[in-house]
Amino acid sequence: MCGIGGVWLSSSAALDRLDLSAVLTRMSKRLEHRGPDEQGTWWDQQVGIGLCHTRLAVLDLSPTGRQPMLSADGRLAATYNGEIYNWPELRFTLEAHGVRFRGRSDTEILLEAYRLYGTDVLWHLRGMFAFALFDREKGILFCARDRIGKKPFVYSETPGGLIFGSEIPAVLAVPGCDTTLDHSALAALLLHNVRQVPDPWTAYRGLRRLRPGHAMIVRHGRIERIWRYWSPDFATRPVTPAELRETLEESVRLRTVADVPVGALLSGGVDSSAVVGLMRRLSRERIRTYALGFDRKDEDLRRARVMADQLGCQHREFYFEPGRQLSGLGKLGAASGGAVMILPQDHACELCGAVGDDGIKVALTGNGADELF
Give catalytic residue positions: 2
Fill in the DSSP letter of residue 360: -
Q: Which residues pair with 162 in a beta bridge?
A: 8, 157
How many C-beta atoms surround the C-beta of residue 239 within 10 A?
Answer: 9
Contact status, residue 45 vs residue 15, Cβ threshold 8 Å: yes
Residue 339's closest CA among 330, 348, 352?
A: 330
Residue type, 19: D
**How far apart are alpha carbons 329 and 341 in whole angstroms?**
8
Query: Cα(206)–Cα(213) distance, rounded to whole angstroms?
Result: 22
Q: Amino acid identity of 57?
A: A
Burial (CB < 10 A; 0-12, 13-18, 19+), residue 113, is buried
Alpha-carbon distances of 173 from 24, 42, 124, 218, rounded to whole Å: 9, 17, 34, 20
Distance CA 258, CA 326 (A): 34
Helix (H/G/I), strand (E/B), else coil: 170: helix
